[in-house]
Amino acid sequence: MTEFSTPVLPLCNGIYGILTALDEKRSSYVKPDQSPVTLADLSVQVFIIDWITRHFPGDYIIAEERSSGATSADLRRFIEDHPSLYPDLTRSPDVVLDDQGRSATGPVWYIDPIDGTKGYLRREQFAVAISRYDSTGEPLLACLYCPNLPFPTLDSAQKGSLFYWETGKKPVQLSLQTPDDVQILPLSPSVSALATSVEKSHGNAPVAQQVANDLGLQVIEMDSQAKYGLLLRGEASAYLRYPTDSVYLEKTWDHAAGAALLRAAGGTVTEVTGDPVVIRRTATLEKPNGVAATLGIDHQSLIQSIRNHT
């Protein structure tokens, strides 16, 4: 790995340590929007933000989770009981959790500490999604750590798969178990599939099935931005998150890392209308148009099929 990317390995190893310590504590709380949040979401976000504020003290931060009276005691207790997992933490966990950085105009980080919380609770796929963009909306760095997605050359998930890219470099895939085994992305296609959400509230399943039929693709249902990882390593050709209504705005942290990685690998990421996905300095995308992505097949064919069925 390059000198600049070296800190990402200890960062992800630290996250793995936190997830391991929480392996038997997967209960969830309910947020005001009725979505689940776990102690893992909060504990991992504290670890990531603390790392960012020490290594990039002038940057802005947009992260999914916020402190809450319902969770602060459990979060504080976990960190107090596991000081070796937070060797550099000097501030209150609630303060770190809500830290939005120091600059409103410089580079910005988008963080989803546990993307696919329901997948995490089911012990299926989830991702730790971290990305850094410049002030104009161009990506600088993207990291997707998928602890339950087996690395291709290993027999089991072990420590999962890490997808990483930084500006000026090629995107790569590696395992925390064997970090010297670095694979340049994209990998050769091995499966013709359309990746879509497990949760029916996250996408229009009938539209996804019709589009898959048009393009001759099987449907793979999976939680989180791990779906972007499937495209990167040739285990899917397309990704579709078609909106279930005309109001919902996709969260920026749900796509910023995956979109940056896929584009760096030569893929295409747009709204389902074919318009560009614009990553702004906000928590949501600009329009309620969902997201469509391809790698290795004609993107316009995907967009046209979507139009034919909507």
| Per-residue DSSP letter, 284 | B
Tens-place pLDDT, residues 159-206? 899 999 999 999 999 998 888 888 999 999 999 999 999 987 767 889
Question: CA-CA-CA-CA torsion for 146, 203, 285, 63, nearest 10 degrees?
Answer: -40
For the question of residue 41 being annotated catalytic, the response is yes
pLDDT for the residue 8: 87
CB atoms within 10 A of CB 62: 19
Which of 53, 71, 117, 252 is labelled catalytic? 117
Which segments of the chain belong to CATH 3.40.190.80? 193-308
Picking from 106, 124, 104, 105, the residue whose alpha carbon sits closest to that of residue 114 is 124
**Pairing state of beta strands 139-146 and 172-174?**
unpaired
Q: 193-308: what CATH class?
A: alpha beta
Return the H-helix or E-strand segment holding 172.
strand 172-174
Q: Determine contact, residues 161/229, Cβ cutoff 8 Å.
A: yes
Q: What is the pLDDT of residues 112-169, one digit of tens each?
A: 999 999 999 999 999 999 999 999 999 999 999 999 999 987 766 678 999 999 999 9
> From 3.90.930.12, 3.30.540.10, 3.40.50.10490, 1.10.10.10, which CATH number describes the 8-184 domain?
3.30.540.10
Confidence of residue 2 (pLDDT cuts 50, 70, 90): very low
Q: Which residues of 113-148 are buried (b: 16+ CB within 10 A; e: fewer)?
A: bbbbbbbbbeeebbbbbbbbbeeeeebbbbbbbbbb
* Catalytic residue from among 41, 94, 112, 223: 41
Q: Is 270 a catalytic residue?
A: no
